[in-house]
Amino acid sequence: MYKNGPACSPLNPFYPAAAFTRDQRGCSVRDHADSKRAVSVASAGGQQFIVHTDTTRARVMAAEWGYSPTNGPDVWARLFPQAGGARQSPVDICTSIASSDSNLEMKKLTFAYESQSDLRILNTGHGWKVEAPQSGSRLEGGPLGEDIYQLEQFHCHWGETSAEGSEHTVDGRAYAGELHLVHWNTTKYQSFAEAAQHPDGLAVLGVFFDVGNESNDEIEKIVSTLSEIKFKGQFTDIPDVIDPTTFLPSGLGYWTYLGSLTTPPCNECVIWIVYKEPITVTEEQLVQFRCLSACSGEAEEFIVKNYRPPQPLGNRALRECNAA
């Protein structure tokens, strides 16, 4: 879901060093005094920007999926047939029907990640995404059997207020947001793209956000870059070291089920692992997420809501692991 703001001029993906200021919505913005330098850096980065006319832009936006009533989740299945399948995500996690599985307890879910710097963060037009391919990472055990999965990227979903935003819900309750760490099966497949075409191709860790008073330091590393990727298609590198392990809660109990991507084309290729315990972020950090724009520079269409509502679980098994 997007909200229109004041008209904006096309900007480049990298901004000159400048002090942060605040606009009337509370969004962090940069002063753009040295526009020549910004153009030069953008050119060196090799990215091209196309300024559309209003008419062309309307056609482009109409052709894209999104979160508005005209192109949102209710109509995705018309353009993306898998979105109407029987194995769709997210779902409402009804705790009373979740079965405890001793196999999950015996073969524990384990993970190993690398700390990385200069990861690329991108405004996709639907939210932010950090490209974090880690050939040395490993996610295995639990519902994944003997296969090894490798981290590819992570991204986030949020809502217009902190009373909503998570894609999965628990007994009907939504959280303020949900972080997804996306992995692919390197045991069976040669690439992420290939894996996404198979029922056991991807594994996604879902982590809920609760709002609190203490800023989340690792999330703040993401927030600090958002003013540089305000518009769709813009990207930059995160200068800080990111350790994906720090995104995970201290309690490692989880629910798991077979599902899909939660965005088009909604491939039914995901083994979902949703942690029971949320991590804490501040309202201010969520405000900065909502300041991203879905457009490429002509007008501000704020991404205030980018979650898909729960889909029917149907006859799929919902299992839980109460790992310590």
Measure the CA–CA gap between 97 and 231, rounded to whole angstroms: 42
One DSSP character per residue, 156-219 reads: EEE-SSTT---SSEETTB--SEEEEEEEEETTT-SSHHHHTTSTTSEEEEEEEEEE-SS--HHH
Residue 180: active-site member: no
Active-site choice (126, 155, 180, 183): 126
- The per-residue b/e assignment along 32-71, b for 16 or more CB within 10 angstroms, e otherwise, is eeeeeebeebbeeeeeeeeebeeeeeeeebeeebbbbeeb
CB 30 within 8 A of CB 227: yes
Instruction: Give the HSE-up count for residue 82: Cα atoms under 13 Å, Cβ half-sphere.
Output: 19
Which residues are marked as active site? 126
